[in-house]
Chains A and B, each alone.
Chain A
Amino acid sequence: MKAKASAEGFAEAAKRHLDDVHAFLVYLTGDRAVAEDLTAETFARALERWHRYDPRRAGARTWLCQLARSTALDHFRAEDRRRRREGRYAVAELRESAEPVFGEGLSPALERGLAQLSAAEREVVALRIVLELDGEGAARVLGISTTACSTRLSRALAKLEKEVSAGVAA
């Protein structure tokens, strides 16, 4: 009976937070195709580890975002090793794509501005602005203090605004 309840819990959580996790990974990777794969992998990992999830410690969305970040970091490390081996930057090439990455309907200036941010800056923007996580939840996902999270967000937004302004002026 408990196993059944657990299964329903996972299915429900997956359904409810799929868009959030996907959006977070799109911002983090800056690549829709990679984000899709990582989202699927995140939920596969979540299914494996669902028995470890403790709702009293964090909400399902926070836990899934932590898992998504960990999955993305594994991907980045693997990519980094591959890049070092091959001596080229595949992600940089992908960013040159004309397809909107961060969302349909975003102004080109904002799209470019987001692309100019680092993954570290985009992830905090995604968590606090797009997913509207509170400071504590975002800090938990990033593994930093609430103050550091606020500072990072403030800097990222300032940089983003600067990039957008520069893009509009151009």
Chain B
Amino acid sequence: MSPLELVDGRFDKLATELRASRPAAPDGLRNRVEELGRVEPEPRREWGFRLPPRRVAFALVAMAILGSFIAAGVTGVNGSEPHRDAAGGPVAGKTQAPESAQGLAKKPAGVPYQRRLDKDSLAPQTARLQRYDATLRLRVKDVDALSNATKRAMNLTRALGGYVASVEYSTRSGRRGGATLVLRVPIVNVQTALAELTSLGTILRQQTAILDVTRRAERESRQLDKLEAELAQIEAELAAGSVPTERRLQLERQAVADRLALKTLKAKRARLVRSARLARIVLTLTTPAEQGAASPGRFNNTLDDAGAVLTRELEILLYALVVLGPLLAIGGVAIAVGKAQRRRSDRRLLERT
């Protein structure tokens, strides 16, 4: 098919004449070019892109993705040893909360968790006012053990002079289940309570926090004393009877305000003392089915670590895109605009030539 036929058949005669009369290169030019042909050109670059650039780009992207997966896999396999605590015992994974430094970390090797909580571990000082919060996550054998452990925890709390603030108990399919208890135990008995509670199952997680509020309580006591003294002075002055009316009104208003402040401060202090008297223990009991998810095996650890590496790589890629993206886009647009301008300029030049 003639190229002209692609456009319009009307121009066939014109095309035939143009083709028949096409200019041929003169001999002088032919000789000049033949001479050039005798010169040996620079060898072709074998290292250059023999593949189309698009394919090369795809191959590079594929290699980068493959490389990132391999890196993630290698890191995952290397880091997939079951996570162990200082004593070498398996624990619940990397999300384990900071444990009692004196208790768990100093646990002698080979000692079961149930027995590791000695009396010295983060014991509250009864001479001071302290808020004591503990979180315990225990694994029990099955649903029956779950029920027994829940009952024992509640009985123990009451026996130690505390109370059960809340209980959530649930089972699924009669084989898996869990319970969450919020226990308030007198601070003097918290070590006994923790020691007993940890014997209900295998520890998966333990967290303890102590906040000393003695100074705060002392500050509030001083404020209370000051207010009471001020109020007593006002009442004495009012009782004297020789106070001018204006002064009396002022004193009465002051007395009302002081009484209100005194009441609020007393309530606040009472709450503080109460919170420092009763430790708060959140006890979570789970059966092995649920615990399985919390204590991953080597394969799961591999996946977790590989996933973490991939996530990190994605973060880096995203960061690079965010930082470099606009620059690349601006550069690309500048190149495209430059090319378009050059093309337009060439076109104009050819049109007026």
Contact = CB atoms under 8 A, between A and B. Distances in A.
Interface of A: 2-4, 6-7, 10-12, 14-15, 18-19, 22-23, 26, 28-30, 32, 35-36, 39-40, 43-44, 47-48, 50-54, 56-57, 73, 76-77, 79-80, 91, 101-107, 110, 118-120, 123, 125, 128-130, 132-135, 138, 143-144, 150, 153-154, 157, 160-161, 164
Contacts of B6: 135, 150
Contacts of A143: 343
A118 to B, nearest CB: 5
B23 A7 contact: no
A104 B19 contact: no
Contacts of A133: 3
Given A18-B33, A157-B8, A160-B14, A77 B349 contact: yes
Contacts of A164: 14
Contacts of B346: 73
B245 interface: no
Interface of B: 2-4, 6-8, 10-11, 14-15, 17-26, 28-30, 32-34, 36-46, 48, 50, 52, 343, 346-347, 349-353
A163 to B, nearest CB: 11
A15 B46 CA distance: 25
A23 B42 contact: no
Given A23-B23, A47-B39, A51-B44, A73 B30 contact: no
Contacts of A144: 343
Contacts of B33: 14-15, 18, 39-40, 43
B21 A51 contact: no
Contacts of A7: 39-41
A104 B43 contact: no
Contacts of B351: 118-120
Interface residue SS majority, chain A:
helix
A105 B19 CA distance: 11
Given A39-B33, A164-B14, A103 B23 contact: yes
Contacts, number: 164
A2 B47 CA distance: 14
* Most central of B25, B43, B46 by chain A CB within 10 Å: B25
A15 B33 CA distance: 8
B31 to A, nearest CB: 10
A26 B23 contact: yes
Contacts of B2: 132
24 contacts: A10-B37, A10-B41, A14-B33, A23-B22, A35-B23, A36-B28, A47-B39, A48-B42, A50-B41, A51-B44, A52-B44, A53-B44, A76-B350, A103-B18, A104-B21, A105-B20, A119-B350, A120-B347, A123-B350, A129-B3, A130-B19, A144-B343, A154-B7, A164-B14
Contacts of A47: 36, 39, 41
Contacts of A130: 18-19, 22
Contact of A135 (B3, B19, B25, B42): B3
A102 B39 contact: no
B42 A51 contact: yes
Given A103-B18, A106-B21, A110-B14, A128 B29 contact: no
A44 B18 contact: no
B43 A3 contact: yes
Nearest to B40: A7
Contacts of A154: 7-8
Nearest to B32: A40
B43 A2 contact: yes
A122 to B, nearest CB: 9
